[in-house]
Structure 1
Amino acid sequence: MSQESAPADSPFRSEPGDRDLAPQFVLPLVVRIERSAPPGRTDALETAARAVLELLADERANGNGEWAEAVRDWQDARIRKVVRRARGAEWRRAEALPGITVTGKSAEVRVFPPVPLDGWPKDLARLQVSGTDLDDPEPPAAADPSAPVLWLNPALGMSAGKAMAQAGHGAQLAWWGLAGEQRAAWRDAGFPLAVRTAPEERWPALTTSGLPVVRDAGSTEIAPGSCTVVADHPALR
C-alpha cells in the first residue's frame, strides 16, 4: 500500500519519504483452502478484512501489548500484507503460532503479528502464495448501503490472495479514519462489512469522493499506483 493512501492522522513515526528506508515488515495472513471444501471468494475477502481489523483492535497489538512493538514497526514502514494458503497439517501448524483465527461463512483466515520481510517463521515461510484462485458458488448479494463496504476496482483482475490483501488494506484505512467511539462500535458489532466489485460507472466517483483509497505499491500483479479499493464506511461519508 502506498504512503499517500494513508490518512494524515495514521500512526506513522516516519515521514512518507522515509518509510522505504525504515526496516520493512509484513503482516502475514493464511487462508485455509482444503481440496474438498475451498471457501467462496467473497467470503474469503471479507474474512481477511475482518482478520486485519481484529488484529488492529486486539489489546496485544496496542499500548504495551506483546505485539505492539511489531505493529508499530510495521506501520512505520510500508504497509505490506501477504496472503498464503494452507491445508491439513500445514493449517494445524499455522494455528499453533501466535495469531488470531477469524471464521466467515465458509472461510477461515488466521492473521499473525507482523514479521520482518525476510524473517518469516518457517511454518509460514514454506506455505504457498499461489493457488488462491477462488470462486463464488453464486453471485454475492447486493451490499447493505448502511454498512461498511470495501469497493474493488472493476477494471483490475486480481487473484483471490491479492484481493484479500487489498481488502485488508481498505479495512485498515477505514479503521484509521474512525474516531475512538466509532472504532469501538464497529468492533463491538463484530466488524460487519462487505467486499464487492464496484459498478464500472460508479468507480470514478468513488475514487474522488474523499473516502479512503488504497493505492497499490505495484510489487505484484498490478501496476504501481493503481487504485484497488475504496473504503466506504458510513461514518466516513
Structure 2
Amino acid sequence: MSPAVDRDTVPQFVLPLVVRIEREAPPTRTAALEAAARGVLAFLADERSTEGEWAERVTAWTDGRIRKVVRRARGAEWRRASALDGITLEHEGAEVRVFPPVPLDAWPKELARLQVSGTELDDPEPPLAPARGIPVLWFNPGLEMSAGKAMAQAGHGAQLAWMRLDAEARKRWAADGFRLAVRSAPVTAWPALTDSGLPLVRDAGFTEIAPGSCTVVADLPELRLRGA
C-alpha cells in the first residue's frame, strides 16, 4: 500500500477471476480453490504486475480494499474471456483466469456479462491430507461459502502470505510452481490457527458472510520458522 493512503477514500478496484465450469466436466471444489490461489500468486509475481503494463492498476487496487470477484464461464464465454489480458492457471482439471484489476463499476463487457452465481462445486471424495511441508490455506470449518466466494478467500489468503515473504522466499515458491493445498481446518485446531500470528483473512462482509468473519489462515512453513 502506498504511504498515507486511506483505503476507503481512494477509487476502488477489483481483481476479476473467472473459473471455467463446463456442464459435462466441472472441476472439483478443492481443485478450483487451489487454482484460484495459485493464479493470484502467479499474477502477483508476473513482471507485468510489478513493473510492467499492469503495475499502475495493481497499485491502485492494493491501495484500496483488495477486492476479488469470481465469475464463471463456459464455451464461447470462456473463449471470449481468455482473449483478454490475463493469466490462466490450470490445476487438476480446474482452469482459472486472473485479469488485471478493473474499476469496481467499470468491468470489461466480456467479463461484466458473466454470472457470479452458479459456482457450486463439490468434491466427490474428501481431499487427502496435505503433503508434509507445503503451504496450506486453512479454511474456517464453521463457515459455509459458495465455491466462488471461497475461491476469492483462497486468493486473498495466498496474497496475504505472499506479502509477508521476502524476495528470496517468493522466488523459491515461484520456482516450485506456487505449490499449496487448500483444506478445511479441524474444528479443534481453528482457534489456535487464528491466534498463531500467521496471515489471517478477515472478510469485509460484502457478500454471504458477516463482516469481520475470519475465513482463512495461510500456514507457510517459511513463516512458522520465523515465528510468523
Structures share fold, TM-score greater than 0.5: yes
Measured against aligned partners, the alpha-carbon deviations of 1:50-104 in whole angstroms (never above 9, x if no partner) come to 00000000010012x0000000000000010000000000000000000000001
**Residues in 2 aligned to 1:236 and 1:160: alpha-carbon distance in whole angstroms:** 27
Report if aligned partners of 1:14, 1:76 keep a CA contact under 8 Å in 2. no
User: What does residue 28 of structure 2 align with?
Assistant: 40
| 4+ runs deviating over 6 angstroms | none
> 1:175 aligns to what?
162
Query: Which residue does 1:13 correspond to in 2?
Result: 2
Q: Deviations over 1:29-57 (max 9, x none)?
A: 00000000000000000000000000000
Aligned residue pairs total 224
| 1:205 to 2:192 alignment | yes
For the pair 1:130 / 2:130, whether they are aligned, the reply is no
Output the CA distance in 2 between the equivalents of 1:220 and 1:144.
32
Unaligned runs of 5+ residues in structure 2 are none
Percent of aligned positions with the same letter in both sequences? 73
CA contact (8 A) 1:151 1:198 kept: yes
Match of 2:10 among 19, 22, 36: 22
Task: List runs of 5+ in structure 1 lacking aligned partners.
Answer: 1-11
Is the deviation greater in 142-151 or in 50-59? 142-151
Distance in 1 (alpha carbons) for counterparts of 2:17 and 2:204: 18
CA distance in 2: counterparts of 1:185 and 1:139, whole angstroms: 29
Q: Shift in Å at residue 158 of structure 1?
A: 0.4
Report SS of the residue matched to 1:139.
coil
Q: Distance in 1 between matches of 2:197 and 2:105?
A: 35
1: CA distance between counterparts of 2:40 and 2:64? 17
Q: Does 1:143 align with 2:165?
A: no
Q: TM-score, normalised by structure 2?
A: 0.97
| Root-mean-square deviation over aligned CA pairs | 0.8
Residue 225 of structure 1 deviates from its aligned partner by 0.3
Match of 1:81 among 68, 76, 92: 68
C-alpha deviation, 1:212, in angstroms: 0.5
Q: TM-score, normalised by structure 1?
A: 0.93
| Aligned match for 1:51, one of 27, 32, 39 | 39
Instruction: Describe the SS at the equivalent of 1:21.
Output: coil
